[in-house]
Amino acid sequence: MTVSAEEGAMSARSTSYQRRLASALGVLIVVAVLSVPAPQTAALVTHQGESPRSRMTAQPDQEAGDGMDVARAACVTSVEPCWQGAPVSEALLHEEVDGDAARGGDAETGNDEDVTMFRGNPAHTGEMPGPGPEGEPDELWRFAPDAGEPGVLSSPAVVDDAVYVGGLDGYLYALEAATGEERWRFEIGGYVSSPAVADGLVYAGGGGGYFYAVDADTGKERWRIGDGEDLYSDPTVDGDTLYLGGYDGFLYAFDAGTGDERWRFETGDRVWIAPATADDAVYAVSDDGHLYAVDASTGDERWQMEIGPALYASPAVADGLVYAAGADGVLHAVDTEDGDERWRLETGETISSSPAVADGVVYVASSNEEERQGALHALDAATGDEEWRAEIGGGVRSSPAVAAGVVYVGGFDGAVYALEAVGGDEAWRFETEGFVASSPAVARGVVYVGSADGHLYALGDGEDREDT
């Protein structure tokens, strides 16, 4: 059975209504809606011109959430570091289009000036092409996906002259990078993940139950996976492969051009954090409390390490180490070859955002939930020794980004902070009217970041301001 794009869009609209309503009402309602367990199902893959084929695969036990706290609730709707949704089944509904719409071969993930995905690159180092603004920035423009929805919490991608971002109104948007004018919108339903862009395709999923590849120029659907109930992590694209975590407990590898599944790796629980890739390995964390290293080509396990419960942060990989953090406030530096721990930092607080690594320094944010105060730590990447610590108001869900000697991060006090990478002195801060859980994207002199006040902001050098 093949489903057309139009039929799929109608299905997504009908099945996403409850999720969209929950998003508008707030994060705690989202948690309640998105904690429903999924039944066991057969995996179904259908292509044009083929007969359906199915195979039964055992599902890990899925249980409803047991009272997730506000920190996790914020992560649910903030895309930082992942998108979380209802447990997924294994059914895969796949559509291909004629002509050059389905692209095979090696994917191009932009040039050195682009921010192609969450955390900036497949290794999720948070290192951005930059540069950022030369001094205290002006607001170049702001874009509101829908004033009736509670904010822009997705992390934007910036490729060529376009910005791609998801809104809590259920749409994926393409905007003019220079002006913020809307080019196109594509309905996904519910919340929308942080997008990834490669080889002319934009990849995003969300609360509508499908994961999509969309033409970057036209906003037209190229293919999709899902059965109307499936939800996945933020996408990571490396070469010609798309990697996703699933709520069914599997880590997936798909052909980035066609959406065909290449392999799946089973963990002990949900994989709702975006995986990272480096040196032909995929690194993913699962709700079973483990960090996994998986062969990128075959899906075979290389090693696993217990990190601890409640994992909110995507791993970052650099110089033979993978950095992974838990909500218990401990950052682990793990050898990529054998999974042995090199060092750890115990912050004594909660870590709910992903670390960044640049120029031999790891930047990780922590939050004191009781005091509603956050901090950004700068650590020697090889030893874990703390170089400096800077206070961030209200707590931190935003993952830090590094560009041209400056670290950018959002706070729950509504501010976007720019800190000197050496010493941690504040270069500037920009105040929004809502908490900032979106991770900044920094390219071509501009910082792009979303806020819970309902806007995506472009901050840079200049005096012109446009409100779109």
Domain boundaries, the chain: 5-467
Band of pLDDT at residue 95, cut at 50, 70 and 90? very low
Query: Could you tell me the fold of the domain covering 5-467?
Result: Methylamine Dehydrogenase; Chain H (2.130.10)
Tokens of 81: 């570091």
Q: Single out the residue of 411, 401, 313, 331 nearest to residue 367, CA to CA.
A: 411
Mean pLDDT of 360-371: 90
- Average pLDDT on 406-426 reads 96
pLDDT, tens only, 281-290? 999 999 999 9
Return the structure tokens found at 247: 């709520």
How would you class 148 by CB atoms within 10 Å of its CB: exposed for 0-12, middle for 13-18, buried for 19 or more? exposed
d(CA 89, CA 40): 6
pLDDT in tens, 101-114: 333 333 444 568 89
pLDDT exceeds cutoff 60 at 12: no
The pLDDT confidence band at residue 210, using thresholds 50, 70 and 90, is very high
Radius of gyration of the chain (CA): 20
**Residue whose structure tokens are 């075959």:** 298
Tell me if 62 sits within 8 A of 87, measured CB to CB.
yes
- Phi-psi sector, 170: left (phi>0), alpha (psi -120 to 50), beta: left
pLDDT at residue 431 tops 80: yes
Rounded Cα gap, residues 212 and 96, in angstroms: 11
Beta strands per DSSP E along 227-329: 236-238, 241-245, 250-255, 261-266, 276-278, 281-285, 290-295, 301-306, 316-318, 321-325
Cα four-point dihedral sign 120, 124, 128, 129: negative
Q: Does pTM surpass 0.85? A: no
